[in-house]
Amino acid sequence: MDYSKRYNEWLLFDDATKQELLKITDEKELEDRFYKDLEFGTGGLRGIMGAGPNRMNQYTVAKATFGLAEYLSDRFEGEKHVAIAYDSRRNSRAFAECTAQVLAAKGIIAHLFRDITPTPVLSFAVRYLHCCAGVVITASHNPKEYNGYKVYDEHGCQLVPALANKVIARVNAVTDLRAVPRLDFEVAKSSGLVRFISPDVLDAFLAAVKTQSLYAESRDIKVVYTPLHGTGNIPVRRILADYDVSVVPEQEKPDGDFSTVRSPNPEERDALTLALEQARREKADLVLGTDPDCDRVGIAVRHNGDYVQLTGNQVGALLADFILRFKKDSLHDGATLVKTIVTNDLGANIGRKYGLQIVETLTGFKYIGEQITKFEQSGDRYFVFGYEESYGYLAGTHARDKDAVVASMLICEMTAFHKANGRTLVDALQALFDAYGYYLDALDSITLKGKYGAVRIRSIMQAFREAGSAAFDGVREVLDYSTGIGDLPKENVLKFYFEDDSWLAVRPSGTEPKLKIYYSVRASEKDAAQERLDALRRMIHEEIGE
């Protein structure tokens, strides 16, 4: 269908949609809104908010929910319950209510959080409330113009491809967006088809998080915390109630425009600028920053009078060492650490030293959550810790997604433990490097927006795939995950291993118009690692031409 025809159809949807569209004069903007449907993929929906089929709006949310409801009707018999949470982004509450209305119209009971809620609490709530699915309205760390829609299975794990594909088929079968039924919200409440979730659920979640505590001998650290205008403020502060915590006042309250940051992403250095300024004034030991849906956490630690920001790989390895140091006497056969294929091997090697089995998954914490359920069903392994390089960590099985609340608690305990023993986390990391080798990692994200950006990303991946081991000098092995590697689902990822055991991986982002390039180098010392990393980066950017 020609995009101009679809544009004219959308002018008939409602007056607000019509007025928004009539104000657009940029032809490329109109083409981008209408040349395709916003895809419901294995990560659900995520896109820029606005009118049009390639945007996040009430109609695309209703379409996704109707497809989900049809899938749930196929899979489950009897009364069905779905938990719904939302973050602080613009329209999140409205999209959550729209989700509840469509479910109610299909006779499915929607349990809705009254206030903004972290993603890991939604994951917990699905099982706690005996739901058959969960939905969270969030775009995680994306810029303010984005929102998203993530679906969780009955175990509280984000849908993996085998299940997501069934939902996708049902979503794609919806052709008339205006015909999707919605029950009036007040009618749905009065009939019991929409129910607000009790605050007791958050209390139960925090109690479950507390069971993962490992070190209580000292709380002698000063912490500066920023929720980056998101959902973490209340749960993180409650779990850290025994610590001296000061919150960045400019970023404490929910703000869907994330007005104090360029992007609310704790992976990016400038997201913690205000927190670092406050930490310097207060001489804090630790800075914590959680993203808007509070499933990821970035940190900086005071070392030699200044603040050092640690990467996700580094924090994950430090947490693995800390957790296993305290749990070593209780570990038994089947203890397992789970990480993703783009996470470096330091944490895995620490796990191996303590006798753990190591499982690698594709990128995305849903695959780590899936392993937890598999372990419980088979009984031959049990989950100790899981993490990914993009600042996501999980200890315990209360959630089946990354959890910045439990991670914040353990990071504070780890910082206090090392401080009591005369070390900073930087000192502790250096000790790991001395024992296991110096690991240096990096991520390049190349943004290529719109229809033509998507074509460019596909052409780059195809060029690397066709070149294989000849793509770069010194390649020992190429893993093409699109063909299926072992038991892993097929995914558009290429990983190049070099003769010196360094590697790089290339994949399109599943949530943004970006090509992501991951690098990992292991060397005897820092300068050698930096030299090798720089060489890898030059090599790939020459090939891409960016």
Cα gap 340→363, rounded to integer Å: 5
Q: Is 466 exposed, middle or buried (0-12, 13-18, 19+ CB in 10 A)?
A: exposed
For residue 97, what are the CA distances in angstroms to 17, 91, 110, 116, 198?
A: 18, 10, 9, 13, 17
Quick check: 535 and 543 in contact, CB under 8 A? no
Quick check: 67 and 174 in contact, CB under 8 A? yes
Specify the 3-state DSSP secondary structure of 56.
Answer: strand
Cα gap 357→61, rounded to integer Å: 40
Sheet containing strand 133-137, strands side by side: 45-48, 146-152, 133-137, 81-86, 109-112, 194-196
Q: Which two tokens stand for residue 476?
A: 């020992």
Which residues touch 287 (CB under 8 Å, ≥6 apart)? 223, 224, 225, 226, 272, 275, 276, 279, 299, 300, 301, 307
Cα gap 167→21, rounded to integer Å: 30
Minimal CA–CA distance to 54: which of 25, 21, 28, 31? 31
User: Which among 140, 390, 408, 520 is annotated as catalytic?
Assistant: 140
Cα gap 520→317, rounded to integer Å: 14
Whether 140 is catalytic: yes
Q: Which two tokens stand for residue 252?
A: 């404490």
Which residues touch 321 (CB under 8 Å, ≥6 apart)? 350, 428, 432
Q: Which two tokens stand for residue 440?
A: 């240096």
Q: Which two tokens stand for residue 239?
A: 């779990």
Cα gap 213→406, rounded to integer Å: 9
User: Is the CA virtual torsion 104, 109, 112, 117 positive or negative?
Assistant: negative
Residues assigned a catalytic role: 140
